[in-house]
Structures are given as structure tokens and as C-alpha cells.
Structure 1
Amino acid sequence: MQTKLSRTQQYLIPVAAITAQGNLSKLKPQLAAALDAGLTVNQLKETIVHLYAYCGFPRSIRGLQTLMAVLEERKAKGITDVQGREASPITDSRSKYDRGKEVLGKISGASQDGPKTGYAAFSPEIEIFLKEHLFADLFERDVLSYAERELVTISVLSSIGGVEPMLRSHLDICLNVGISPAQLREFTAIITSTIGEKEAKAAQEVVDQVLKSKEPAK
């Protein structure tokens, strides 16, 4: 099991957190640093597109516009950034709902065949939207791995605050898709330095709770 976040993951986390906060002046140098570190244009685009599912189109679009501006500035300086690979074509002929259901089951490790409960029972339409769009349309795009998408997700949730139950669920998913406890601790350190110790306190507490719950009983 990995004990350190990859170089790519280390840069995706602050990009996602800062974009979610809407701090565009802080985002510009972070995007430039990510490009200098070897991240591709498509990796950054995919990160910013993904986060709209958690903090909305306005933040995502402003993030994309900021990336466009950074790329233009770098081009004017003679810097050629690598575009990177595109998402693979989807060849699965099943419905998006069925594909999304499978993806969610795979990353969560939980059966998706039981009766609907909670918000899914109260609002069946949002359960359909989640399966068809978030876990099919977005998660099936392989420019980012499941682990990278989950790191982007918990970065956004930590940044916006007030969504601790959802953050807890996605931290569990992180562990299920191969992110180690040591990597989550590194994540919290990056979040603290990115969005501030005070703002990151709640996220830190949730991470500590989740990791403690995974420790063997004494």
C-alpha cells in the first residue's frame, strides 16, 4: 500500500480545494505550478470539470476560465504545455444508470441492489441523476483514476465545509479505492496549508474519526 501521495495527486488536491473556494487569484499560481510539475492540461481540465458536481457550475466554469488565462499567459512566454490524453470512448451499451450503479458499487464496496432509503427514497430523481451522470458520465472518464477523482471530491468537500457526513462517506470510498491512511494524513496537511488551519479543522476531525474507526479493536 502506498504511503505517499503521487506528485500528480499532491497538485490535484490544492487545485480542487482552491477552485471550490472561488479564490481565483490564488488559483492562477497553483495551476501554473501544477503545469510546471508535469500535469497535463487535460488532467487539470478534468479536475475542474469534476468538481462542479460538488460545488456547482459557477465555481467550475470560473476555474476553467482561469486555466484558460494561465495557458494563454504561458503560451505568450513561449511555454508549450502538454495537452495529455483524452478520455477513452465508452463502448458499454448498457444504460447509464446501470453503468453508474456498477461504478458506485465498485468504489464503495456496498451493494446497490437493496431498497432505496434516506434521500434516495425521498427524492428518487436525484438518485437517478447521481447514478447516470456523476458515476457514469463523470467517473467513467478515465483521464483521472477513481482514486484521483475521490481525492478531488474530498478536497472540494473539505473546502466548502458543512458537509461532514458526505465527506465521511467519500473518505471511506478513498480507503476502498486504494488511498492509504498515511496518504489521507498527507491530504489533511495539504488541505490545511491550502485553505487554512481554522477552515480545515472540521475536515481534519472527520479524517481522524474515519481513520480511528478503521483501527483494529484492542
Structure 2
Amino acid sequence: MRINEAARRYHEGMFPDYESKFMETDPEFVERFDNFAFDEVVNQDDLDDRTRMMAILSVLIGCQGIDEFKVMLPAALNFGVTPVEVKEIVYQSVPYLGIGRVFPYLHAVNEIFVSRGIELPLADQATTTTDNRLEAGIQAQVDIFGESMRDFWQSGPEESKHINRWLADNCFGDYYTRQGLDYKQREMITFCFLLAQGGCESQLTSHAAANMRLGNDKMFLIKVISQCIPFIGYPRSLNALRCVNEAAAKSE
């Protein structure tokens, strides 16, 4: 096998003393994938390992790659992603994918945490109550998207305006207000959830703009997309790149 030294070192950092069974059954594939994903891709830019791993975990939830998620979660922990950050990534994926698709990830995280001696439950991270979640969610929307979102929660046709309220009190008031991740990190993982599941280009463009507004600029988002290509493929990555370019053009 001709896995190069850079890829070997990176793989060892992710998975110390572990050799995949695919080395025996699919050596040609492992050679090409590892050299690409763990040398060419990771050395393409200066994105730090923690951010890279947070993005990878997020896109694996978004594309429903549960088996690869189970593989990459220990690597993310080895590269400094904290248990709280992992839980927050999974929790925040619920309003973007629904519990039907996230349920297996809750189990996977708990199983891996227990196997590593991480005591559950983790410390509480909620900062809102049922009484103030709407107000806090509205403020989060304003902080992220701008003042135009102040009254969004009560806009729309009478028969569907409750959904805009839920976006404020549930999606933002229940999740974005939690500790463990800041707004920039939360918008980055939301961008990853959306780009990986596909069919969400309108929302993806809006959240690309929100990322830029918070300081996750166009080049940062391109770095995130680039690092996720081995895990979600080219079509959805290219769609995401188009959305980023559209959002950047509108902001100029």
C-alpha cells in the first residue's frame, strides 16, 4: 500500500493504534481515500482540526451517515471537540432534521461517551425557560440575522403564522440560546446540516449570509465545504458553494 506519510500521521492522530479492516479487504480504495481525505484535503487550507471535526460531525448527521459518524466521533474527541460541544451539535440538528433522523445519533453519542468513561448526563446548558424562550429566541434571531427579524415571529398568514412563532421560541429560543457553542459555531453547524441534506438551498443561502454577518466569511465557508467533500461528495458541496457565492454577492 502507498498511503503517504502525511496521511498516516493524520490518521494516527484521529485513531491511535487502529488499523481499518478495509486495509485487508479494500486496500486500493483505502489508499486513494486516505491520501485524499487525510492529506490533500486537510492540508488544503488552515482550518483548525476542532472546527474541521465539528463540521464533519454536522454533515454526517445532515447526510444520515450514522456509521461514519460513529467512526469520526472518537476522532473528534481526540482532536479536542468537547463532550458538551458534541451534544450541542446533535441537539441543534433536531430543528433542522427532525427527531426521526436524529434519534440514532443521540444513542450513538451516549454509547460512545459511556465507552470512554464520560459521565452522563452532562451539565445543563439551557439558559431559557418556557416563560422566556420566545423573547430570548427573538433576540437570538435579531442578533444573527438583523433587526428585520424582530417581528418575524408574528408575521405570515393566520393559518401558518404559528410556524414562524415556533421558529423563534423553539428553534432559536430552545437551542440557539444554549451554552456550549457560540452563535458563530451554531451558524456554522447549521450551514453544515443544510448543505449535507440537500434540497434546502433557499435556507442554505440565508444561513450562509447569516454566517457572513457574524464573521464566518466567504473564505471560511469555502474552507468548511472543502473539508466536508470526502464525507458528502461533490454535488451537494457544489450546490453549497453556489449558495455561498449568491449570499456573498447580495452582501456586496
Q: Report the TM range for the smaller structure's normalisation.
A: 0.7 to 0.9
2:139 corresponding residue in structure 1: 102
Matches within 5 A, 1:20-169: 20-75=62-117, 86-87=124-125, 89-90=127-128, 95-113=132-150, 123-169=160-206
Measure, in 2, the Cα distance between the counterparts of 1:52 and 1:145.
18
Q: How far is 1:157 from its partner?
A: 0.5
Greater Cα shift, 109-118 or 121-130: 109-118
Amino acid at match of 2:206: S
Deviation sequence 1:141-186 (CA, Å, 0-9, x none): 0211111111111101001111111001111110111212221110
Q: How far is 1:55 from its partner?
A: 0.7
Measure, in 2, the Cα distance between the counterparts of 1:102 and 1:38.
30
Measure, in 1, the Cα distance between the counterparts of 2:152 and 2:170.
21
In 2 relative to 1, CA 116–11 (structure 1 residues): closer, same or farther, beyond 3 Å?
closer
**What runs of 5+ residues in structure 1 fail to find an aligned partner?**
none
Q: Secondary structure at the match of 1:128?
A: helix
Answer with 1 or 2: which has the greater Rg: 2
Once superposed, what is the RMSD of the aligned Cα atoms? 2.8
Relative contact order (C-alpha < 8 Å, sep 6+): which is higher?
Answer: 1
Amino acid at match of 1:87: Q
Given the two structures, how large is their TM-score scaled by the length of structure 2?
0.73
Given the two structures, how large is their TM-score scaled by the length of structure 1?
0.83
Identity within the alignment, %: 22
Contact 1:85 1:143 in 2 (8 A): no
In 2 relative to 1, CA 34–113 (structure 1 residues): closer, same or farther, beyond 3 Å?
closer
Would you say how many aligned residue pairs link Structure 1 and Structure 2?
208
In 2 relative to 1, CA 132–67 (structure 1 residues): closer, same or farther, beyond 3 Å?
same
